[in-house]
Structure 1
Amino acid sequence: MTARTVPLRRALPAALLPAALVLAACGSSVGETAAAEGDDLKIGFIVPATGVASATGLAMQAGFELAVERVNEEGGVNGQPITYEVQDDAGDPATTSQIARRYSQDNSFDMLFGTITGDTAAAVVPISDEATIPFATAILGDPPICSAYSWPFGESTRQLLEVQVPALIEDFGPRIAFVGSDYNFPRDYAAAAAEIIAENGGELVAEEYSPLGTTDFESTIGRLSAAQPDAVLSMVVGSDAVTFTLQGAQFGLLTPEVGYEGAPLDADYFGAVAPVTTGREHVVRWADGLEDEDSQAFVEAYLEETGLQRPVSEVAANAYYALRFIAAAVDEAGAGTREEINDALGGFSFDSALGEGTRFVDTEGGGHLFQASMLTATIGADGYAVTDDHGVVENATVSCQ
């Protein structure tokens, strides 16, 4: 399938999530015309443009495309424009595998980028390893499989929890309940949370999971309420995050006196859950209230291109700064092959709104961990105002196998 030239898509209002912050869906194959040979950088981009994670996926795509536009305006990589092709996996691991395999078997593609949920990322990694093609992600959480070819630019599980858990215990109390969507990432998150809760003198008093696509959380909320938690840590994702949050408030679990932290507080969901999350604190890698000139330029460009309003999705910024990191690393190394690109990413540091000298470090399992600053932001209608900069969380433990 040949990529065709298209402009950056300007997002229009869509009903992918009820009243949530969303972008317009892309077609099954879009991109920019690729150079046929040489040291150009061509990326196979995989996104859930449809399905329960579509709002987050489309935000990621918008951030990625803005970075491509900026890098190309500044001269591209190795003197050539970055090119890319986009395919929708609808959040389905089988579809993700098919797309990743097609990209990896086409020698014109130099690397893979994208996916949202941990199970779709896990579907890409073996294919990436076999083809020795670098694979970058922008979503939070540990990579599902340790790999020398996987480059996770999102916050790791422990980078989040090492800040989240002490704050919840100090502000609300030691009794923490966990609720998550039923797939690998939330379960790994809960396992790490239990350790960190215990280390901080707290107690995990409940642990609940629900299948993706759940529309009625009443029984789950009842069991969580029965545990009498001081705070709820949630990794319910996609449209389910909105449903759980609204029903949690409706059925008396998520009162102002009970702490609430996790994925549903992400900017993607603010429009739908604002009555529950406004005024709460949220631990992030990036926030649209970050007072950094480059960050604010990105925010303005994102709002202009999408036609949306604040707050701006964090995963969009993760994708934006990830692509700029990749472009700078490849350009500095003059890398052209997949192996050269992979080597370039591991030996590079980059100054950006995410911090000075952001870089990857190796983990014990053979994977990589992105080191950048962590922030606490207070949620508001005008954006996520940064109230604390924690710097780099040094914990390099990840749950990948």
Structure 2
Amino acid sequence: MKSVFTLVGALAFGLGVTGAAQAQDPVKIALIHGMSGSALEAFSKQSQTGFELGIEYATGGTNEINGHPVEIIHKDTQFKPDMARAALEEAYGDDEVLLAVGATSSGVTLSMLPIAEEYEKILIVEPAVADGLTGEDSNRYVFKTSRNSSMDMQAQALALAPDENLYVATLAEDYAFGRDGITAFKSALDGTGATVVTEEYIPQGTTDFTASAERMFNALKDHEGRKVIMIYVAGGGDPMGKIQAMQPERYGIEISTGGHILPVLPTYKRVPGMEGAIYYYYEAPQNEVNDWLVDTHMERFETPPDFFTAGGMSAALAVVKALETAEEWDTETLIETMEGMSWETPKGTMTFRPEDHQALQSMYHFKIRVDEDVDWAIPELVREIKPEEMEIPIGREN
């Protein structure tokens, strides 16, 4: 399916034409993602595909909301903060979109938050993850459908079953995603008795992990108890495979990491039996929305939906639910409608927490299973981790 979607004109709203606008007027939505310049392009493409599928599903194939055709405007941040700010300004101003969705990199997305506040228009964050996106630097116009670092790390900690016999070294990229993630991981371990013995931070794009691995081995090897290297890296470079190739087991050290997109999961075949937590794997959720997504994606693309396909769909479903529910489409009414709003997604029910607009959602504890007939390692479901099991810190009070 080809979609051409856009967001609603600020001029029309300034004249008092809101939800009662003429039926032929489009509702314009901007999708602002990095489509060039980074290995994270795959995340953006999945998110945009998922968003379009979500609009289709939520509107019963009409691609109309309350009689208004949905028009999507695509903009490329090139993974540069200045480009992202300019793209969002153009979307809100020249393109007169009603709201925007993006972006992919947490650091880039952080730079966009003040623009939403300046234009007093909604920005739905998807798929960027960092806690700070709903934290002190955020504002009341920002809603976040993607999970956050605390969810990743609360779930990861639960999957590790931490106690006083657990010693952990962490490896993360040195930017908002990685720093926030490790902060959240340490917070999740508070009170369990587990110890983080060292933290390693690497530049984005790192491909040689030898020095970091040796430092982590040395920090862990003399401890009595369970010793784990926890990897929290969003990009490529295959840190898990390369560190595993250095034989951490000779020191009694195991590796743990969260789940990843399907193109990365073949590398997990090196660690059968590894346990961790994942945001989404197409076989984990059992609900009608996910059934439709899996069947439709297989039919059209001959592959299962991935991490960020589900995320993009969740964002689209939130948009449609809000616009169908709100009495008017001005920003203030939409904010009032979305605060505390629950809606169904491929992951089940999500709810925008009123305090900071973070979408609370389930995560999935997995154990890696290797099947020679499947190209990737299978993050087989151990159990669903419900939102109420995770103590997700509240970010900015709106």
TM-score w.r.t. length of structure 1 = 0.81
1:201 alignment counterpart: 193
* 8 Å Cα contact 2:275/2:367 also seen in 1: yes
Preserved contact between residue 163 and residue 283 of structure 1 (Cα < 8 Å): yes
Partner of 2:65: 77
Cα offsets for 1:284-305 (capped at 9, x unmatched): 3432112323212201222333
- Cross-structure match for 1:44: 30
Residue 17 of structure 2 corresponds to none
Where do 1:334-345 residues align within 5 Å? Answer: 334-345=327-338
Q: Which amino acid aligns with 1:111?
A: L
* CA shift for structure 1 position 275: 2.2
Q: Which moved more, 1:138-147 or 1:92-101?
A: 138-147
* Among 104, 126, 131, the residue aligned to 1:138: 126
**Displacement of 1:193 after TM fit?**
1.7
Q: Give the letter for the 2:247 counterpart.
A: G
1:301 aligns with 2:293: no
Matched with 2:267 is: 273
1:332 aligns with 2:339: no
Amino acid of the structure 1 residue aligned with 2:203: P
Q: Does 1:371 align with 2:348?
A: no
Distance 2:7 2:363 in 1: 36
Cα distance change on mapping 1:113 and 1:373 into 2, 3 Å: same
Q: 1:246·1:276 contact (CA, 8 Å) conserved in 2?
A: yes
Q: Does 1:261 align with 2:253?
A: no
SS in structure 1 of the partner of residue 49 of structure 2: helix
* Structure 2: gaps of 5 or more residues: 13-20, 222-226
Once the two structures are superposed, what CA deviation does each residue of 1:22-46 show, in whole Å capped at 9, x if it has no partner?
xxxxxxxxx3477876374311111
Q: What is the alpha-carbon root mean square deviation over aligned residues?
A: 2.8
Mapped pair 1:192 → 2:184: yes
Cα distance in 1 for partners of 2:310, 2:164 equals: 30
1:1-400 alignment to 2 at 5 Å?
Answer: 7=2, 31-32=4-5, 38=21, 40-50=26-36, 51-72=38-59, 73-74=61-62, 76-106=64-94, 108-139=96-127, 140-144=129-133, 145-170=137-162, 174-228=166-220, 230-240=227-237, 242=238, 244-253=239-248, 258-262=254-258, 265-289=259-283, 290-307=285-302, 309-310=303-304, 312-356=305-349, 358-363=350-355, 367-380=356-369, 381=374, 383-393=378-388, 395-398=391-394
CA contact (8 A) 2:162 2:194 kept: no
- The alignment-based identity, stated in percent, is 19
DSSP 3-state at the match of 1:86 = strand
Alignment length (residue pairs): 364
Contact 1:42 1:82 in 2 (8 A): yes
| Contact 1:55/1:268 (<8 A) preserved | no
| C-alpha distance in 1 between matches for 2:7 and 2:359 | 29
Task: Classify the secondary structure of the residue corresponding to 2:229.
Answer: strand
CA distance in 1, matches of 2:395, 2:196: 19
Aligned equivalent of 1:18: none
Report the Cα distance in structure 2 between the residues aligned to 1:196 and 1:355, rounded to whole angstroms. 24
Residues 347 and 304 of structure 1: CA distance in aligned 2, closer, same or farther (over 3 Å) = same
Amino acid of the residue matched to residue 232 of structure 1?
I
**1:113–1:136 contact (8 Å) kept in structure 2:** yes
Report the more deviating stretch, 193-202 or 271-280.
Answer: 271-280
CA distance in 2, matches of 1:167, 1:34: 41
In the superposition, the TM-score normalised over structure 2's length comes to 0.82
- Measured after TM superposition, the shift of residue 107 of structure 1 is 5.7
Seen in structure 2, the aligned counterparts of structure 1 residues 171 and 91 have a Cα distance that, compared at 3 Å, is farther
Cα deviation digits, residues 346-388 of structure 1 (max 9, x gap): 14222344334x311133xxx2221222322334547543321
Residues 228 and 256, structure 2, Cα contact 8 Å, conserved in 1: yes
What is the identity, as a one-letter code, of the residue corresponding to 1:126? P
Shift of residue 187, structure 1, vs aligned partner: 0.9
Q: Tell me: CA distance 1:84–1:163, structure 2 relative to 1, closer, same or farther (3 Å).
A: same
Determine the C-alpha separation between the residues in 2 that align with 1:317 and 1:341: 23
| Offset, 1:280 | 3.0
Which amino acid is the alignment partner of residue 331 of structure 1?
E
Task: Write out per-residue CA displacement over residues 249-306 of structure 1, whole angstroms, 9 at most, x where no aligned residue.
Answer: 22224899614123xx312443451323554333234321123232122012223333
SS in 1 for 2:206: coil
Alpha-carbon distance change, 40 to 78 in structure 1, aligned in 2, over 3 angstroms: farther
Aligned 8 A contact 1:245 1:254 in 2? no
